[in-house]
Amino acid sequence: MFKSVVLFFAILLFLFGFGKIKESKFQTEDDAAILKKVYEKDFYIGAAINDKIITEKNKKALEVLKREFNTISPENVMKWEALHPSPDTYNFDMADKYVALGKKNNMHVIGHTLLWHSQIGPWMNSVQDSATMANYIKEHITTVTNRYSGKIDGWDVVNEALNEDGSLRESVFFKVMGERYLEFAFKVAEKADPSAELYYNDYNMWKPKKREGAIRLIENLQKSGTKINGVGMQGHWGLTEPSLEDVENSIVAYSKLGLKVAITELDITVLPNPFKLEGAEISQNFENNEKMNPYPDALPDSVEVQLANRYRDIFELFLKHSDKIDRVTFWGVNDQSSWLNNWPIKNRTNYPLLFDRKFEAKKAYHAVTQLKTDSIKQQ
């Protein structure tokens, strides 16, 4: 009798739709909780990886990387200083391992970065002749991009060439070659590997003055016939700044130039920052104290909720403009490996990413994945 009653109510639920199973847009139920699966129709989801992941020594981080992400960027191993430490010396070992890891796991592989004023070959800072500088740049970019031709999907060709007011930074390249170094670098990269996409990458690209400067930079490249496929907006942001409106205005403005937009270095600091801190300029360092390191042991639940809500709002904006955004890359896999533990103040405990120090998903992770699954259910 009991079984008959249960069956009767089960049939009623099915007929009235309460028990109806909607057709899943994921291949399996588990896919609904995996970042790269959740957003596979919207944009790539990536992470910047360090030496321990590249060499596969950090097994847990590698496991999370392979499960959750489908594009990678190198934190340091492809920067000039690491790759090309002296005029006649190249160290390709770690970069080779990085590219091999990405290809083995069918990932979209990004090269970061060909030309940057920081972490450069030290001899470059003493070059004063324009022709010599151009030869060094050409030799470096050509050697590196030729080696990885067909293996690197996209290059950050020039990194952080702008000041906060939108003017060109007086880097060693600018001082010696003037503004033409930008066009020169992009054209050398295109010639060395025509198949790779080429990007300009910078922080604080949401600020109106810096956005105007970036647009001028890009338009000048385009007018000269220089190939540029996209712009990277570094996402080193906070719990309240930048405003979503400023981020949105920038995404739209860069897209109108005919470029792909990438969010290239996403992390959300939950710690107070020193006064006068400017973006992500790594030369800035400040002293530590208890006020600047308020959560040394654990993140309060109220702040973790705030972080989750912030990430949800940001990804809601990204989804709104998914036709313009090509990829979203977090700057690190988990909180432990984040550079924000040591910048702009050393030895702090920060919590800026979606996975905690034990590689467990945080509230922010669930907020980001749930946002997408909720939108799918409503379709």
Task: Convert the pLDDT of each residue in 128-151 to its tens digit.
Answer: 999 999 999 999 999 999 999 999
Taking the C-alpha atoms of residue 210 and residue 315, their distance in angstroms, rounded to an integer, is 23
Tell me the pLDDT band of 17, cut-offs 50, 70 and 90.
very low
278 carries an active-site annotation: no
* Confidence class for position 58, pLDDT limits 50, 70, 90: very high
Is the per-residue pLDDT at 184 higher than 50?
yes
Q: What is the pLDDT of residue 97?
A: 98
Cα angle, residue 330 at apex, residues 379 and 241 outer, rounded to 5°: 85
> Using one digit for the tens of pLDDT, what is the confidence trace for 94-116?
999 999 999 999 999 999 999 99
Query: Over 60: is that where the pLDDT of 313 sits?
Result: yes
Instruction: Please tell me which residue in 160, 190, 197, 304 is annotated as part of the active site.
Output: 160
Whether the ω angle into residue 344 lies within 30 degrees of 0, i.e. cis, is: yes
Per-residue buried b or exposed e for 302-324, using 16+ beta carbons within 10 Å of the residue's own CB: ebbebbbebbbebbebbeebeeb
Which amino acid belongs to residue 324?
Answer: K
Burial (CB count <10 Å: 0-12, 13-18, 19+), residue 168: middle
pLDDT value of position 171: 97
Residue in 68, 183, 190, 265 annotated catalytic? 265
- Inter-residue long-range contacts of 145-151, CB under 8 Å, 24+ positions, other chains counted: 145/111, 145/114, 145/189, 145/192, 145/193, 145/196, 146/192, 146/193, 147/92, 148/95, 148/99, 148/111, 148/193, 149/192, 149/193, 149/195, 149/196, 150/193, 150/195, 151/99, 151/103, 151/109
pLDDT value, residue 137? 98
Q: What is the mean pLDDT of residues 272-296?
A: 69
**β-strand pairing of 44-49 with 325-330:** parallel
Residue 300 confidence (pLDDT) above 90: yes
Does residue 287 carry a pLDDT above 70?
Answer: no
Query: With 50 as the cut, is the pLDDT of residue 3 above it?
Result: no
Residue-wise pLDDT for 224-268, tens only, equals: 999 999 999 999 999 999 999 999 999 999 999 999 999 999 999
Q: What value, to the nearest 5°, has the Cα angle with vertex 180 and ends 177 and 184?
A: 100
Which residues make Cβ contacts (< 8 Å) with residue 372, sequence separation at least 6? 38, 39, 42, 315, 319
Structural domains present in the chain: 27-378 (3.20.20.80)
Res. 336 pLDDT band, cuts 50 70 90: very high
Cβ atoms 295, 303 nearer than 8 A: yes
pLDDT band, residue 10 (cuts 50/70/90):
very low
Res 274: pLDDT: 73
Q: Is 265 an active-site residue?
A: yes
